[in-house]
Chains A and B, each alone.
Chain A
Amino acid sequence: MFDDFFIRALIAGIGVALVTGPLGCFVVWRRLSYFGDTLAHSALLGVTIAYSFELNIAVSVFLVSSIIALFLIQLQKKTNLPGDALLGLLAHSSLAVGLVVIGFLAFIRFDIMGLLFGDILAVTVNDLIIIWFGGALILLVLKLIWKPLFASTVNYELAEAEGLNPDRAKAIFTILMAAIIAISIKMVGLLLITGMLIIPAAMARNISDNPQKMVLFSIIGGLLSVIIGLFSSLEFNTASGPSIITASLVLFILSLLKIKQSIQLKN
């Protein structure tokens, strides 16, 4: 019925959506979408390093993104530049350095489009193992830091005063962001990963009145986007990443109808 590669892509996409759902909610709540972009751009550098030294792509991307994230935190402490300028600095310079390194790797046939926008043909069984094991690990850690992370998202001082150690939770969350980018890069592509984090969560915000519901709808939205996106990618022969993100955009637009309804109810 379906080719093996398509089944693999579907399993991979479902695994990714289960993790981006809850993480994406925190990205929206904590206003980290540009931070996610920066990590995703730096992933290109991770990929080129993986090719240069024949490392696993996910591991290499994870390490490079984590280092960039830690570097960012240091820069924020040591300079007087605003956060968005530092993010832009790191995002574009790591993207540029990554592209320069690709220039030196002329001997390797590089699927740059697949890297930027995702390629379902590229998902191997090995990738599936990384996505599902890595994803389960991310969700487990997120569950462990949920209370301090959520409390400090609502109010940092309350969390700190009542002994929840929000700084540690924030640092761990940063590492989780690097990890989700590492495992989802093949599916969605590095230019669109942040979309996968933000758009289903934004859709969920429109139809939720409490945090648990928002996380649940964000996961459901991500799953639907992956399934609809991948089937249309197969049907219309489009890249997987843009197809998934377009599907999530359609869901977001549909969720706006619900907002409109509740506004009318209030009046």
Chain B
Amino acid sequence: MGSNNNTLVKLKNVGYHQNDKWLVKGVSLEVEKGKIVTLIGPNGSGKSTTAKIALGIYKKIEGEVEKYTNKVGYVPQKVSIDWTLPLRVNDFMVLTENLKDDAINEALSLTGVVHLKNKNLGNLSGGEFQRVLLARAISKKPELLVLDEPVQGVDFTGEIALYELIKKISDDLNCGILLISHDLHTVMSATDHVVCLNGHVCCSGSPIDVAKNMEYKALFGEQASQILSVYEHRHDHVHSSEGDIKKN
């Protein structure tokens, strides 16, 4: 893995421990411009930890992180907004970056929630909030997007639409994406590189390589490799939130 000027972030044999327990160890990976890297693995396998190491949230780590960009968009796995803080969607959108109204509207439209702009964050449903989180992360046109289970709680048709959107963003902005999913269904054909974690890197490669890997099968079972192949076909149409069908 030689780094070139397309590299956005590179982890070299990183690890992190908390209370004498290693959450993750010996992980190496690289996210490049325009590429999608997906982390999969069972609960507690260190996916979110790896993402936080890449983002620089965890600082006392083993190994090395090389980061070549400061324009980062992040969708954390868990965000709880305190009721003591009155916050509308619009206020949340400008949290880390001053954006023009147009940019806010554009991002919210892309994830299908522009009508919620003046709603209080506390009144959104789980799926709506997730769409707002994604809109916020992409609105600043980042070079690196880190998405930790970005579609949790989103309905099934919405889930497919959002993954199509993530693929589109990666193409349009030419940004690198580090995607985390506990759901094997979501490891789509769009992913360039899959890293399968289980406290360490259990295997990695293209989605097809990983699906064929014996360790992967041992971890997730025989069925899992079939799920992956099911998702290899490209969707030729999408359903918008209004219910009409658009051809790609």
Is B57's beta carbon under 8 Å from chain A?
yes
Answer whether residue A93 sits at the interface, using C-beta atoms and an 8 A cutoff. Answer: no
Given A160-B56, A208-B86; A154-B92 close (CB under 8 Å): yes
Count of A-B residue pairs with CB < 8 Å: 69
> Please, which residue of chain B has its CB at the minimum distance from the CB of A266?
B123
A29 touches B84 (CB 8 A): yes
Chain B residues in 8 Å Cβ range of A214: 86
* A153 cross-chain contacts in B, Cβ below 8 A: 85
B218 within 8 A of A: no
Chain A hits for B81, CB < 8 A? 154-155
**Chain A, 195-219, CB within 8 A of any chain B CB:** 205, 208-214
Among A14-22, A42-50, A161-169, A172-180, the stretch in contact with B:
A161-169
Closest chain A CB from B101 CB (angstroms): 15
Interface residue from A29, A157, A160, A163 paired with B82 (Cβ < 8 Å): A29
CB pair B86–A209 under 8 Å, yes or no, is yes
Q: A160–B57 contact, CB under 8 A?
A: yes
**Residues in A209-233 with C-beta less than 8 Å from chain B:** 209-214
Q: Kindly provide the distance from the CB of A77 to the nearest chain B CB, expressed in whole angstroms.
A: 12
Provide the bound-state CA to CA distance between A50 and B74, in Å. 49
A163 touches B52 (CB 8 A): no
Majority-rule SS of B interface residues: loop
- Interface flag for A92 (CB, 8 Å): no
B86, A157: Cβ atoms closer than 8 Å: no
Contact between B91 and A161, CB atoms less than 8 A apart? no
Known: A161-B57, A210-B86, A213-B86. A154 touches B76 (CB 8 A): no
Looking at the assembled complex, report how far the CB atom of B167 sits from the nearest CB atom of chain A, in whole angstroms.
22
Decide yes or no: A205 and B84 within 8 Å by CB, A157-B74, A162-B74, A162-B96 being known contacts. Answer: yes
- Bound Cα distance from A157 to B78, whole angstroms: 10
Contact of B56 with A158 in the complex, beta carbons under 8 Å: no
Q: Mark B90-132, 1 if CB is under 8 A from A, else 0.
A: 1110011100000000000000000000001000000000000
Q: A29-B85, A209-B88, A210-B86 are in contact. Are A155 and B70 (CB under 8 A)?
A: no
A258 CB–B CB distance under 8 Å: no
Bound CA–CA A162/B79 (angstroms): 15
For B73, give the chain A residue with the smallest CB separation.
Answer: A162
Cα–Cα distance between A150 and B86 once the two chains are bound (Å): 12
Given contacts A154-B87, A155-B79, contact A163 B72 (CB under 8 A): yes
For this complex, into which size category does the number of interface residues on chain A fall? 20 to 34
Chain A residues with Cβ below 8 Å from B90 are 210
B55: contacting residue among A147, A160, A210, A212, CB under 8 A: A160
The answer to whether B96 touches A157, judged by C-beta atoms less than 8 angstroms apart, is: no
Residue in A31, A151, A210 whose beta carbon sits within 8 Å of that of B95 in the complex: A151
Q: Which of A29, A151, A161, A212 contacts B72 (CB 8 A)?
A: A161
Q: Which residues of chain A from 134 to 171 have any CB-CB distance to chain B below 8 Å in the complex?
A: 147, 150-151, 153-155, 157-164
Query: Contact between A209 and B85 (Cβ–Cβ < 8 Å)?
Result: no
Contact residue among B74, B86, B97 (Cβ-Cβ distance under 8 Å from A161) = B74
Q: When the two chains form their complex, are residues A159 and B96 in contact, meaning their CB atoms are under 8 A apart?
A: yes
Query: Whole-angstrom distance between the alpha carbons of A147 and B87 in the complex?
Result: 14
**What are the residues of chain A within 8 A of B91 when measuring CB–CB?**
210-212
Supposing A29-B85, A151-B96 touch, asked if A209 and B120 sit within 8 A by C-beta, the answer is: yes
Measured in the bound complex, the distance between the Cα atoms of B86 and A212 in whole Å is 9
Query: Which of A28, A31, A150, A155 gathers the greatest number of chain B CB atoms within 10 Å?
Result: A155
Contact of B169 with A by CB under 8 A: no
**Which residues on A sit within 8 Å (CB–CB) of B97?**
162
Question: Contact between A158 and B95 (Cβ–Cβ < 8 Å)?
Answer: yes
Contacts of A157 in B (CB 8 A): 52, 55, 57, 74, 76
Beyond known contacts A28-B84, A159-B96: 10 more, CB 8 A cutoff: A29-B85, A154-B85, A157-B57, A157-B76, A161-B52, A161-B72, A162-B74, A205-B86, A210-B86, A210-B88
Interface residues of A (CB under 8 A from B): 28-29, 31, 147, 150-151, 153-155, 157-164, 205, 208-214
Instruction: Give me the 8 closest cross-chain CB pairs, A-B, nearest first.
Output: A161-B55, A161-B74, A162-B96, A151-B95, A160-B57, A29-B85, A163-B70, A208-B86
A-B pairs with beta carbons under 8 Å apart, 12 shown: A29-B84, A150-B95, A151-B95, A158-B79, A159-B96, A161-B57, A161-B76, A162-B74, A162-B96, A209-B120, A210-B90, A211-B85
Q: Which residues on B are within 8 Å of A, measured CB to CB? A: 52, 55-57, 70, 72-74, 76, 79, 81-82, 84-88, 90-92, 95-97, 120, 140, 146
